[in-house]
Amino acid sequence: MMQLNRTTSNTAKKSPERIMQFGGGNFLRAFVDWMFDILNKQTDFDGSIVVIKPTQRGDYIELKEQEGLFHVALDGVRKGSLVSEVTLVESISRVIQPYTQWEEYLELAQNPDMRFIISNTTEAGIKFSVSDTIEKKPPHEFPAKLTIWLHHRFQHFNGQKDKGCIILPCELIEQNGDVLKSTILQYASHWELGTEFIHWIEEANYFCNTLVDRIVSGYPDERSKEILKEIGYYDSLLVAGEDYHSWIIQGEDIVQTELPFSKTNLNVQFVEDSTDYREMKVRILNGAHTAMVPIGYLSGLRTVKEVMDDTLVSTFINDLLSQEIGPTLKNFPKDVVDEFIHETLDRFRNPTLKHFLISISLNSTSKFVARLLPTLKDCIKNNRQLPKRIVFALSSLFRFYQGTYNNENIALNDNPEALESFSKHWKSHQNESITYLQMVSYLLRDTTIWGENLDTINGLSEAITENLRAIEKHGIATVIKQITDHKSLV
């Protein structure tokens, strides 16, 4: 079996580099890069992607070795029929690691063809840090890196308006384009980069609020031999996902003109306001994912499919969506919300996807803030009581972040501050220095984790403490059944 590269696959031609992409993980490759590959093959767009490694660790070595090539395996139901297809994606031209290739990163800003900027740095990725300075090569935060790049471009082209960029962040945060723009302007002001640069950012660049939707499960271990035999190459970056996809882009008319998705069959919608679409998708699909990770994992389940096959946990997730999350989406008719819930659960049941819960668990604390905390607050506002299923999901997250369960270590992956806080307070509790309630209260007050003091929510610390004690005493399955059956534990 041949190693995949541009020589062995006879795909030496590369389009002009027009897109800079922060991140090269499974989702971006199986969603954005796959879309731009189709755009290149079906229209006259003719643009390739330069992938920027947003963090210091790692170098996307496999992507470099395969010269930007990889396959995407998609499965699902399309117009009532099962579909399964494997596509060679050719849209990535090269990789730049700014921590070791800073000058090459800046040189990219001098490319007159560069027009589009994509990012997916998770919900925790778009933030301002006062510790970042313009002298750092590079600074730590993604928006700081981008600010320096844009400033270099501004200087190189003497502020020409037609050398601005169309920026499409894919992070699942509300009004992601507006937030990124605001953060860049904050850096520009903090670093005193001048009013002319600030005006250029505001007038020559287009920051789009976007909403992305596709379940991407990663490398298909169980099916890889079959797929690799079919394609005839060894591909360490083979990534599997569902056929369903949706990209909603809120931006000015020029964005739609320069991105000719309308000439393809891709499900890309350009809208005047993405707010309601985002809220429904993030609360239902992403909220369900975030809730099922700790609950499913502590229940001994390891994939989304296993969660859906488990009657007890899948019933809990269904009730969470229909009884707590769905009723908060008041800008859509109930039947529309119910249909979206039904479609989401069907997507979770896709038998070909092996979506590991531990993979979805990345940055679960910031995901809870973005995906479930607004619903929790709305439930309190609407019903004058805590939503017991969302609270139990948060309680399970607390237990998950202890780092071990049933004598098994859990591979936690979150920002260091959150992990350190959970580790510190769990150890204090286990050493009997603090009570369960004190531990929970201290963690809820940690604004570095939640962005606010959640201990001010009436009854929340007591409810989480009760759930943690019940899990310890009775086991998680018994507590889930108690919540589902509306019974009390004795």
Answer yes or no: do 230 and 187 share one domain.
yes
> Where would I find the H helices in 408-475?
416-430, 436-444, 447-450, 460-474
Which residues, in sequence order, are bridge partners of residue 303?
356
- pLDDT at position 490: 44
Q: Give yes or no: residues 325 and 183 share one domain.
A: no
Q: What is the dihedral of CA 462, 465, 467, 471, to 10 degrees?
A: -170
Q: What is the 3-state secondary structure (H, E, C) of 207-240?
A: ECEEEEECCEEECCHHHHHHHHHHHCEECCCCEE
Same domain assignment for residues 7 and 85: yes
Number of domains in the chain: 2
pTM: 0.73
Residue with tokens 């400033």: 151
**Which domain covers residue 331, as residue numbers?**
282-485
End-to-end CA distance of the chain: 61
Would you say residue 277 lies in a domain? no
Residue 223 lies in a domain: yes
The three-class DSSP label of residue 414 is coil
Do residues 170 and 288 share a domain? no
Whether residue 220 lies inside any domain: the answer is yes
According to DSSP, residue 252 is labeled -
295 and 228 in a common domain: no
| Domain boundary, last residue among 250, 271, 292 | 271
262 and 287 part of one domain: no
Q: Compute the Cα dihedral for 443, 446, 451, 454 and give only its sign.
A: positive
DSSP one-letter string for 60-83? -HHHHHTTT-EEEEEEEEETTEEE
N residues, the chain: 490
Q: How many whole angstroms separate alpha carbon 167 and alpha carbon 177?
A: 7
Do 215 and 290 fall into the same domain?
Answer: no
CATH number of the domain within which 109 lies: 3.40.50.720
Distance separating alpha carbons of residues 340 and 210, to the nearest angstrom = 19
Structure-block tokens of residue 236: 């360490």
Q: For residue 392, is it within any domain?
A: yes
Phi, psi of 210 (to 5 degrees): -130, 160
Q: Which residue type sits at 123?
A: E
Helix (H, G, I), strand (E, B) or coil at 160: coil
276 part of a folded domain: no
- Are 174 and 133 found together in one domain? yes
Residues in the chain predicted with pLDDT less than 50, given as ranges, are 490
**CATH value at residue 405:** 1.10.1040.10
Nearest to 11 by CA among 96, 68, 94: 68
Maximum distance among all alpha carbons in the chain? 73
**Side-by-side strand order, sheet with 246-250:** 209-213, 246-250, 268-271
Residue 55 in domain: yes
* 313, 258: one domain: no
Q: Decide: helix, strand or coil at residue 247.
A: strand
State which of 225, 251, 271 marks the end of a domain.
271
In this structure, the answer to whether residues 263 and 398 fall within a common structural domain is no
Is residue 13 assigned to a domain? yes
Q: What is the DSSP letter of 321?
A: I
Taking a C-beta distance cutoff of 8 angstroms, is the pair 20, 82 a contact? no
Q: Of 211, 244, 271, which residue sits at a domain end?
A: 271
The dihedrals phi and psi of 58, each to the nearest 5 degrees, come to 85, 165
Q: Are residues 119 and 175 in the same domain?
A: yes
Domain assignment present for residue 52? The answer is yes
Query: Are residues 163 and 240 located together in one domain of the fold?
Result: yes
Helix (H) or strand (E) holding 249: strand 246-250
pLDDT score for 464: 98
Cβ burial of 223 (10 Å; 0-12, 13-18, 19+) is: middle
